[in-house]
Amino acid sequence: MGNKMPSLEEELFPSTPGKFKIERTHYMNRQFYRCFASSSTMFLWTLFLIALTASYISFHSFVGSGSRYLTASWGGIQWEKQIRVSAEIHRDGGMSVLVTGAAGFVGSHVSLALKRRGDGVVGLDNFNDYYDPSLKKARKALLKTNGVFIVEGDINDAKLLANLFDVVPFTHVMHLAAQAGVRYAMENPNSYVHSNIAGLVTLMEACKSANPQPSIVWASSSSVYGLNENVPFSELDRTDQPASLYAATKKAGEEITHTYNHIYGLSITGLRFFTVYGPWGRPDMAYFSFTRNILQGKPITVYRGKNRVDLARDFTYIDDIVKGCIGSLDTSGNSTGSGGKKRGPAPFRIFNLGNTSPVTVPTLVSILERHLKVKAKRNILDMPGNGDVPFTHANISSARMELGYKPTTDLQTGLKKFVKWYLSYYGYNHGGAIN
């Protein structure tokens, strides 16, 4: 009997289902001939096979729903192990954070920063194709080499969320998964409802039922200020005049999270991000698509507001946003509920995270031209009624006071870092479509 027998784990969790069948048949045939060489050996083999079958059945009842573990893309012993390892905390007083949208722009940066300081991080992302999924896969690979495991799944999958909370008692959730983009909401409105409303509620349900309940920090948007004209935008200004469906779903998110805070005692911090940019950024955003088109010698469309006024944004560099996110996690305070019941009041906070110095879109283009050393072909167009707002400008005194938030990167410096990354990632001759 010189042949190595497959271990129980190899039998139950073959690397591919096809391999399982072939190897097993082959193995059985060999054993069949050997066994029948002697009847006493045959008796022993019968006993062995009965024992093997019994342990197979009992193992399945132990894991609860065997079919899910063997057929779903998530689940299983190996999967759980990767999650536990990724969630391990390596510093005193550290936290274990579930980061949704971890393969996204902000999500990947926050995950890395948390991991580097010793916190446990598990990512969740559905890798949808709103923009080139290969960029998301590249971010995933970067996170993997830094010890962050990203689960491939959707925040609408309540079973998956419950399972994740069963495996790891997350202290915090950094919720960054969303359908982003202001103008795309006219093309695909339902994707905003799916991720920003339905997905958010499914996540809140999972958080409220988890024991212990995590504290939640999540991404709202500067777009909630909509048609507000008070500048700079303060958290106390009105936010009931959204200009796009995207903004409306983010505003709805602020109201939805408030009810979960009120009814279930979940600690909630909503962050209104102001046009975040930087390395590993989102290809659908203006600074990114302008860079691609300028390098390819293609024209760019620069929108202009009423009365030929330039549009302006309070562009905020990714590293500053990451600091704001981590400051929010560190100061979030605990959720108070348990068993789905509120035990006392919990914090409910909303902060602007901006740069406090708006820059016009034509100036953004000029900075890019300088860094790229290529002149842009500009098409100036009156802003269509597509959900855009003319300008944004953040008042950040609240975030400064409560989170110690202090942006330090101006647009010129931040774009230089972006261009450097862009050229190293795509090269000068990146010809393929980015979106």
Ligand X SMILES: O=C(O)[C@H]1O[C@H](OP(=O)(O)OP(=O)(O)OC[C@H]2O[C@@H](n3ccc(=O)[nH]c3=O)[C@H](O)[C@@H]2O)[C@H](O)[C@@H](O)[C@@H]1O
Q: Which residues of the shown chain bind ligand X in the complex (CB under 6 A)?
A: 180-182, 221-223, 273-275, 285-286, 301-303, 311, 313, 361, 388
**Apex 298 CA angle, 297 and 304, nearest 5:** 125
Residue positions counted in the chain: 435
Could you tell me the smallest distance in angstroms from the CB atom of residue 311 to ligand X?
A: 4
Beta carbon nearer to ligand X, 121 or 389: 389
Element (H, E) at 34: helix 17-35
Beta carbon nearer to ligand X, 147 or 390: 390
Could you tell me the smallest distance in angstroms from the CB atom of residue 102 to ligand X?
A: 17
> For residues 192 and 201, what is the distance between their CA atoms, to the nearest angstrom?
13
Could you tell me the smallest distance in angstroms from the CB atom of residue 194 to ligand X?
A: 16
Active site residue 246: yes
Q: How far is CA 305 from CA 3, 184, 308, 387, in A?
A: 77, 19, 6, 12
Q: What residues form DSSP beta bridges with 180?
A: none
Could you tell me the smallest distance in angstroms from the CB atom of residue 313 to ligand X?
A: 5
Could you tell me the smallest distance in angstroms from the CB atom of residue 173 to ligand X?
A: 19
Backbone angles phi, psi at 140, to 5 degrees: -60, -45
In the chain, how long is the greatest CA-to-CA distance?
97
Contact residues for 276 (Cβ-Cβ < 8 A; gap 6+): 105, 106, 316, 317, 318, 321
Point out the catalytic residue in the list 130, 246, 277, 405: 246
> For residues 372 and 290, what is the distance between their CA atoms, to the nearest angstrom?
11
Beta pairing, strands 312-313 & 348-353: unpaired
Q: HSE, CB side, 13 Å, CA atoms: give it for residue 100.
A: 30
Q: What is the DSSP string of 343-366?
A: -S---EEEEEE--S--EEHHHHHH
Could you tell me the smallest distance in angstroms from the CB atom of residue 307 to ligand X?
A: 16
Beta carbon nearer to ligand X, 180 or 217: 180
Amino acid at 99: V
> For residues 131 and 142, what is the distance between their CA atoms, to the nearest angstrom?
18
Beta carbon nearer to ligand X, 122 or 365: 365
Q: Which residues are catalytic?
A: 246
